[in-house]
Structure 1
């Protein structure tokens, strides 16, 4: 298609938005439209984008990168509705900005944020399209007019609906910009498990080539440090293996009275830590609101409640999460972010840790804590010894024969673990500017900003003196290390399969006539119960593990009673299991071989504090 996607002012235009006069005008417009004064670097990017120049922005988490998107389209709409402000500049009468988001959560959160500024936005992903189909609405047709921001999931870029939308000449002429949120994931997720990122490179914009297509000298770079002086960086010894079932070094979290996120590499690890903390908690009332899991296998309604508690509830709570809560999440008052286990790269680590202390007025003592094992430290030391120097280049500069295997920690993480000063290693690795330009906006002048003039308080510069954690033992369930015996596992498996048949037969034929039996209790959930049996200490932990859908939820108490009956058998380690399979119990049945292969997807933790953006095509 040869038509230009937007009518932006020519670079040789008589008016330049990036000039001091132009920036003064745009700041005045934004201050009328927003309840705050935009940062200088936000204003800089918006003005460059209005001049038709691509913008590549790299700033710290919590610095307002989403503002590049909505501020740009707010100004465009203002100029369309007030042509006398810049009569020589032309934009479409019904402008629209396309925004590419890596996760559905980011789309929904961004829509909620921009709608506060009276922008009409629409989310297009598999879930919203399906919901629209059930309402007999064609969202692709609805998007052709009226919406100023469209949030698109990556997978939709190659769908027929999106291609048809771009082929519509009227819609094509409405497009004024394309934004890419969390663009650093192009080369981490895009080259790994999320190949849909590559589809951005085939967007029909001339400025997008090889992902974002930002050629040297043809885009404007905004580069700010991702170091946050008010953040304390700590590395602690986990004191146990990642594959264990007890984590005594984390017990302090229960008594800390601090809002905390604990990030785990896999869903399995997250469940084990959640179960351990649930069982170890001295209080039992309200645990379902105080300790919660957030991951991609949870029922969306459960994740939604967890997210609301994290974002809106000022009371201390603990969220155990995977990468599903890693990107584009802006909780204002999280005090501690904990990472259990060494991530693949230092970028992944700081993506997690960047959730702490987002609102400096509400949190002035944020901490970022990485728990590692003794083996991790040994591997890091051995790796740097083999390379000869901890200061040697980047991963790309290391010969392939010396690069660590995928199962090992990366060079960047090895350096960080053994760094004599953690903030100094962060600055060295990310190439942070020694100083950022001081922002002169009223927002920054009113806020108390943390400075790095004092001595460093990281765990490398100021080693901590921690009391050894007390080990708490499980009650009435026996040792957590004791799994189900083969006989008991087969017996419980048979009971669960029979239970599934029972609740399926009891279901209303009117509402569930075409619902498959596995929807009531899937093979995956049966395997989760069997594999994690010793950690299921209550109906609440069972609910957290299986995250019941609407078919299973009414029967969760019966399912708990069934599981609970097996605990005394495991503790006693007697031979009753041989009899149990043959005896009649509420849901007894014949032992059936359970050989269905099950894949449990863990969290994918990738990211960095950097966020790229291209404007004009505008992207952050």
Structure 2
């Protein structure tokens, strides 16, 4: 059968969408393919149809058991022989899958990456005809991706073990660096198929959190989307529980979904979400494979950790093409919370630095005063010729002030610093030069002699970081992650430097997330942030070992003061708020040892 005949007979569609047919033709010719297609764009057909046209079994790498089950159930229901290998199967069920593979009775095999690279699985696949490998959610292989998973990197063995089997890498979201790593690890001379990231039917709105933001969410759902389906994303399980309870109290049919729930209850709620109009309050555990077409809104109660996550999660709305809405609430505590999650992650230092930059880019999008869609698409390398008219910044332009001069100062400082070594310097160093701060490194590089030294001393580091976020988000400044996150000025900045463009920044709202005082870490530079993280790690280990609450050792406010002082001897802790004689006696040596180790690490980095 032809691809068109299979499409009609098994899947019930009359015609392919977008470049689906081109991808299928590429794989049928034995060539690798990189496929970027938004959520709901029909990626699965790109490998399911070739699997029926080629001899052998197509192996689909998928990270989620629930997603595998949904795909296998759907394929079997329409008469296609498919199976999955995952941890939910009994020994007998695994034997049945192995038998069917040996007998050539399967056309598609879904398998998790960690199981695929086991020696016995690879040995089995080498003994049977494999028609193609399709790696779904391929961004997981890249340290630059928004959902990096180390087990995915072992998939690079497929190049060597199956050199003549075509490979396909598929994802809904990947920036340029992520794409480069996907190709390098998985593919050989692939054809790239990149669909538009624009979802014109989705209206974007972003608000700074105030005390009554939960009431505004209730008003939004009841007033604009009552008896319609939507998803409310929360950063933690506890937050999901409390938000769901608040919505229910206000007469909204709200369900809960997070990884800490009993499996049966979670699955029952997912089934109910597909069966009736209701609101699912969830963590990101409610993610890939959500293909309900009539989700009318996505609300983020907490800021996502990256633009990729935001785009992927909002893409679950309006898959039927009808109008849908994305509403994001963000605040200072979100930034602190996501930084904490990054700090606690198992990733190495490079991964953490990349994650922090992605978080800054997400905050830059939220703080932007220009068209949301233009900035969102620019992140993925796509241009929109004019403002969309379907976002809050287009419909109601925010209160903004002209910061052109400050942007020019920062760009000039980045440029002059980079000219001294031909490579560039990181954000903290550049801002210190701009603010006229003195340090051994600044004197060593003779940056105190630059014309931009001290011209920005009238603003805080927090302010300059905010300006820098916007310059990066709008592609005036490049960040080289591979070389110490150094900054360089993009050619786009020429018009801004020459005064032919204006640079606007959003006027900060007066409302805070809560009346409780929130500590702001933004005045710590990059190196000090690392020391702060190390001190928090020590505090966490000590408090766990001694059954103490972490804040009873030292609150964050005290740790920040320690970071600013950088004591090398216990007596130098004296005078810091929250540290008396007994605490100096108890913790002084340990704290100073951490500071000393930090000094050594930073010295090695500067020497490198």
- Quote the residue 1:156 is aligned against: 115
- Quote the residue 2:49 is aligned against: 71
Question: 1:199 aligned to 2:154?
Answer: yes
> Match for 1:144 among 102, 113, 124?
102
Kept in 2, the 8 Å contact 1:234–1:370? The answer is yes
Determine the C-alpha separation between the residues in 2 that align with 1:299 and 1:194. 25
- Quote the residue 1:417 is aligned against: 367
Determine the C-alpha separation between the residues in 1 that align with 2:357 and 2:182. 28
- Quote the residue 1:352 is aligned against: 313
- Quote the residue 2:124 is aligned against: 165
Question: 1:57 aligned to 2:35?
Answer: yes
Question: 1:105 aligned to 2:66?
Answer: yes
Task: Classify the secondary structure of the residue corresponding to 1:329.
Answer: coil
- Quote the residue 2:91 is aligned against: 133
- Quote the residue 1:31 is aligned against: 8
- Quote the residue 2:380 is aligned against: 430
- How many Å apart are 1:459 and its aligned residue? 0.7
Kept in 2, the 8 Å contact 1:97–1:179? The answer is yes
Kept in 2, the 8 Å contact 1:334–1:358? The answer is yes
- How many Å apart are 1:41 and its aligned residue? 0.8
Task: Classify the secondary structure of the residue corresponding to 1:277.
Answer: helix
- How many Å apart are 1:216 and its aligned residue? 9.1
Determine the C-alpha separation between the residues in 2 that align with 1:195 and 1:269. 28
Alpha-carbon deviations, 1:135-193, whole Å to 9, x = none?
795543443331110000122123344134135x2x2xx21100011112222598977
Determine the C-alpha separation between the residues in 2 that align with 1:133 and 1:42. 37
Kept in 2, the 8 Å contact 1:186–1:197? The answer is yes
Matches within 5 A, 1:500-515: none
Check 1:330–1:188 CA distance in 2 against 1; reply closer, same or farther (3 A cut).
farther
Matches within 5 A, 1:400-549: 406=356, 409-432=359-382, 456-463=389-396
Determine the C-alpha separation between the residues in 2 that align with 1:458 and 1:370. 12
- Quote the residue 2:246 is aligned against: 276
- How many Å apart are 1:40 and its aligned residue? 4.5
User: Structure 2 length as normaliser, TM-score?
Assistant: 0.54
- Quote the residue 1:504 is aligned against: none
Check 1:135–1:180 CA distance in 2 against 1; reply closer, same or farther (3 A cut).
closer
Kept in 2, the 8 Å contact 1:189–1:197? The answer is no
Task: Classify the secondary structure of the residue corresponding to 1:324.
Answer: coil
Check 1:215–1:268 CA distance in 2 against 1; reply closer, same or farther (3 A cut).
closer
- Root mean square deviation of aligned Cα: 3.7
Question: 1:252 aligned to 2:216?
Answer: no
Determine the C-alpha separation between the residues in 2 that align with 1:134 and 1:265. 39
Kept in 2, the 8 Å contact 1:263–1:337? The answer is yes
Check 1:143–1:306 CA distance in 2 against 1; reply closer, same or farther (3 A cut).
farther
Kept in 2, the 8 Å contact 1:377–1:417? The answer is no
Determine the C-alpha separation between the residues in 2 that align with 1:323 and 1:270. 10
Check 1:459–1:266 CA distance in 2 against 1; reply closer, same or farther (3 A cut).
same
Matches within 5 A, 1:6-17: none
Kept in 1, the 8 Å contact 2:139–2:148? The answer is no
Structure with the larger helix share: 2
Task: Classify the secondary structure of the residue corresponding to 2:270.
Answer: helix
User: Structure 1 length as normaliser, TM-score?
Assistant: 0.53
Question: 1:373 aligned to 2:323?
Answer: no
Determine the C-alpha separation between the residues in 2 that align with 1:301 and 1:250. 29
Check 1:142–1:297 CA distance in 2 against 1; reply closer, same or farther (3 A cut).
farther
- How many Å apart are 1:201 and its aligned residue? 1.4
- Quote the residue 1:297 is aligned against: 260
Question: 1:177 aligned to 2:150?
Answer: no
Check 1:238–1:249 CA distance in 2 against 1; reply closer, same or farther (3 A cut).
farther
> Match for 1:42 among 20, 34, 39?
20
- Quote the residue 2:548 is aligned against: none
Kept in 2, the 8 Å contact 1:122–1:150? The answer is yes
- How many Å apart are 1:268 and its aligned residue? 2.1
Kept in 1, the 8 Å contact 2:296–2:323? The answer is yes
Alpha-carbon deviations, 1:36-66, whole Å to 9, x = none?
1222411110011100011111122211111
Gaps of 5+ in 2: 168-179, 339-349, 399-515, 517-608
- Quote the residue 2:298 is aligned against: 337
Check 1:75–1:30 CA distance in 2 against 1; reply closer, same or farther (3 A cut).
farther
Number of equivalences: 366
Alpha-carbon deviations, 1:273-307, whole Å to 9, x = none?
122223x2347xxxxxx311112222222222222
Task: Classify the secondary structure of the residue corresponding to 2:23.
Answer: helix
Kept in 1, the 8 Å contact 2:26–2:191? The answer is yes
Alpha-carbon deviations, 1:80-138, whole Å to 9, x = none?
xxxxxxxxxxxx4xx2000000111221121133234311111111112xxx2377955
Check 1:68–1:195 CA distance in 2 against 1; reply closer, same or farther (3 A cut).
same
Q: Return 346-355 or 107-116, whichever deviates more.
A: 107-116
Gaps of 5+ in 1: 1-23, 77-91, 284-289, 381-399, 436-452, 466-480, 482-620
Check 1:58–1:199 CA distance in 2 against 1; reply closer, same or farther (3 A cut).
same
Alpha-carbon deviations, 1:209-266, whole Å to 9, x = none?
976547998211111111011110111233249xxxx933322255231211011122
Check 1:212–1:175 CA distance in 2 against 1; reply closer, same or farther (3 A cut).
farther
Q: Which has the higher contact order (CA 8 A, sep 6+)?
A: 1
Kept in 2, the 8 Å contact 1:100–1:153? The answer is yes
Kept in 2, the 8 Å contact 1:225–1:433? The answer is no
Check 1:231–1:343 CA distance in 2 against 1; reply closer, same or farther (3 A cut).
same
Determine the C-alpha separation between the residues in 2 that align with 1:419 and 1:247. 24
Kept in 1, the 8 Å contact 2:37–2:194? The answer is yes
> Match for 2:231 among 235, 257, 261?
261
Determine the C-alpha separation between the residues in 1 that align with 2:145 and 2:97. 27
- Quote the residue 1:224 is aligned against: 195
- Quote the residue 2:78 is aligned against: 117
Determine the C-alpha separation between the residues in 2 that align with 1:319 and 1:136. 34
